[in-house]
């Protein structure tokens, strides 16, 4: 399939082009999109020559029209960059008798309703829509129109047309954030959801040979106030000190906003120190904490040293040895029906085979390194984050 993408270097265009390149180059191995191969991408942007665009329109099987102007130097450029370029694109297609479907990236501002009733940008997008729909009726060209609300995600340019991008940039770089109304609610769609919806349309066209014309909405649409967004971003930024990872349920706004925020960090912020607790036995550091899924820690035990010898009322843990060897001993506390201590169970772990040992509440346990030379490096997950005011840790030798 030959796909022409206008505005290929813009926010949506860059994400879509990269996704299509992955399909083209067999890096994206999802079977449902294999029908797009062999795939040729005609990437058109402001530096594309008229001759190149003429060639692209002669060969395109489908056009994804993302190009547009939303921050012009003067108001006249709205119509020139949006409506007039759409007309020019269609004229080139018509000159080649090419009735390839066109997917148009428009805006919710094209409704010209409410706060958008006097939007010059919205009017120029509406003019593009009407021109495209009318041409489609006359030529038989399938036309699909997206009226996007606020779009967020990686590679969006801050201080341009996305408040989320600006917030991400400023907070990640320690710059102030100004909000005129923290209760102002935004409707938002995530860039990867847009790309996936476009890919689904391309797949449908590849399989059926046509598309149904009309308006199309990308889902889900998230609602969040400016205050809520800034609060979440500040939490994300602080996580390098608190180690807290927020609740990020699958397909949630929080998960997608965190993925977006990570992309705005400066490279020097990709690395940060953990607080290390060292003694003669080894080293211990908390790695990740969560509000509802416990925490992950790292534990290093020096040769012939033992840690632990304690039990918990409610906490339970999972141990795995990443490097070296370790012996985990466990014993149920208290006495059995005969007044005897419960038996000790030993678990021998090593990096030759990844195994997990669980230590349940009410069992005293220890971690011993039997090696003469090599430290034992372990990862530990606990179902609760550590609370120094209520550590739930009681000494008792195994």
Burial class (CB in 10 A: 0-12, 13-18, 19+), 350: middle
Stronger pLDDT, 246 or 261, i.e. the higher one = 261
What is the model's pLDDT at position 288? 96
Residues 69, 45: Cα–Cα separation, whole Å: 12
Percent above pLDDT 70 for the chain: 97
Coil, helix or strand at residue 180: coil
pLDDT digits (tens, 9 = 90+) for 98-137: 999 999 999 999 999 998 898 887 888 898 899 899 999 9
pLDDT digits (tens, 9 = 90+) for 261-289: 999 999 999 999 999 999 999 999 999 99
Q: Which two tokens stand for residue 215?
A: 């308006």
What is the model's pLDDT at position 352? 97
Cα dihedral 169, 173, 179, 185 sign:
positive
In the predicted model, is pLDDT for residue 235 greater than 90?
A: yes
Stronger pLDDT, 86 or 302, i.e. the higher one = 302
Q: Which helix (H) or strand (E) holds 20?
A: helix 11-24
pLDDT digits (tens, 9 = 90+) for 58-100: 999 999 999 876 665 555 666 565 778 899 999 999 999 999 9
Size of the chain in residues: 398
Pick from 64, 81, 62, 57: nearest CA to 6: 64
Distance of CA 222 to the CA centre of its chain: 15
pLDDT digits (tens, 9 = 90+) for 140-188: 999 999 999 999 999 999 998 799 999 999 999 999 999 989 999 999 9
What is the model's pLDDT at position 124? 85
Q: Which two tokens stand for residue 386?
A: 């550590």
pLDDT, mean of residues 222-242: 96
What is the model's pLDDT at position 73? 58
Which of 116, 222, 342, 347 is catalytic? The answer is 116
* 116 annotated active-site: yes
pLDDT digits (tens, 9 = 90+) for 198-215: 999 999 999 999 999 999
Share in percent of the chain as helix, strand, coil (round to 5): 35, 30, 40
Q: Which two tokens stand for residue 81?
A: 């960059």
Q: Which helix (H) or strand (E) holds 53?
A: helix 50-59
In the predicted model, is pLDDT for residue 363 greater than 90?
A: yes
Residue 183, Cβ neighbours under 10 Å: how many?
9
Residue carrying structure tokens 């080649």: 96
pLDDT, mean of residues 40-57: 96
Residues 114, 193: Cα–Cα separation, whole Å: 26
Pick from 298, 229, 289, 294: nearest CA to 257: 229
User: Are the C-beta atoms of 153 and 256 separated by less than 8 Å?
Assistant: yes
pLDDT, mean of residues 317-342: 97
């Amino acid at each position: 399939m030959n796909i022409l993408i206008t505005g290929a270097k813009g926010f949506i265009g860059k994400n879509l082009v990269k996704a299509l390149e992955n399909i083209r180059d067999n890096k994206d191995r999802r079977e449902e999109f294999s029908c797009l191969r062999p795939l040729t991408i005609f990437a058109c942007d402001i530096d594309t020559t008229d001759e190149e665009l003429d060639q692209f329109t002669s060969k395109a099987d489908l056009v994804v029209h993302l190009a547009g102007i939303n921050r012009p130097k003067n108001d006249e450029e709205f119509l020139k960059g949006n409506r007039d370029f759409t007309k020019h694109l269609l004229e080139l297609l018509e000159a080649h008798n090419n009735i390839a479907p066109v997917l148009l990236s428009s805006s919710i501002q094209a409704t010209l309703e409410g706060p958008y009733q006097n939007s010059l940008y919205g009017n120029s997008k509406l003019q593009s829509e009407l021109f495209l729909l009318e041409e489609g009726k006359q030529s038989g060209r399938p036309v699909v129109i997206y009226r996007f609300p606020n779009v967020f995600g990686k590679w969006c340019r801050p201080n341009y047309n996305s408040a989320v991008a600006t917030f991400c940039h400023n907070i990640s770089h320690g710059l102030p954030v100004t909000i005129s109304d923290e209760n102002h609610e935004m409707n938002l769609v995530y860039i990867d959801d847009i790309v996936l919806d476009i890919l689904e349309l391309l797949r449908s066209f590849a399989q059926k040979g046509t598309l149904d014309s009309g308006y199309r909405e990308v889902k889900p649409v998230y609602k969040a106030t400016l205050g809520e967004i800034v609060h979440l971003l500040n939490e994300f930024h602080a996580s390098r000190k608190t180690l807290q990872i927020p609740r990020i349920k699958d397909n949630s706004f929080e998960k997608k906003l965190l993925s977006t925020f990570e992309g705005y960090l400066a490279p020097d912020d990709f690395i940060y120190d953990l607080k290390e607790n060292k003694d003669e036995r080894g080293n211990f550091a908390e790695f990740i904490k969560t509000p509802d899924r416990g925490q992950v820690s790292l534990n290093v035990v020096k040769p012939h040293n033992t840690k632990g010898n304690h039990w918990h009322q409610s906490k339970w843990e999972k141990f795995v040895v990443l490097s070296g060897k370790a012996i985990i001993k466990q014993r149920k506390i208290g006495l059995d029906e005969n007044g005897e201590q419960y038996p000790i169970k030993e678990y021998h772990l090593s990096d030759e085979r990844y195994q997990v040992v669980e230590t349940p509440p009410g069992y005293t346990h220890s971690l011993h390194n039997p090696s003469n030379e090599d430290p034992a490096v372990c990862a530990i997950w606990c179902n609760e984050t550590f609370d120094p005011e209520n550590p739930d840790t009681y000494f008792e030798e195994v």
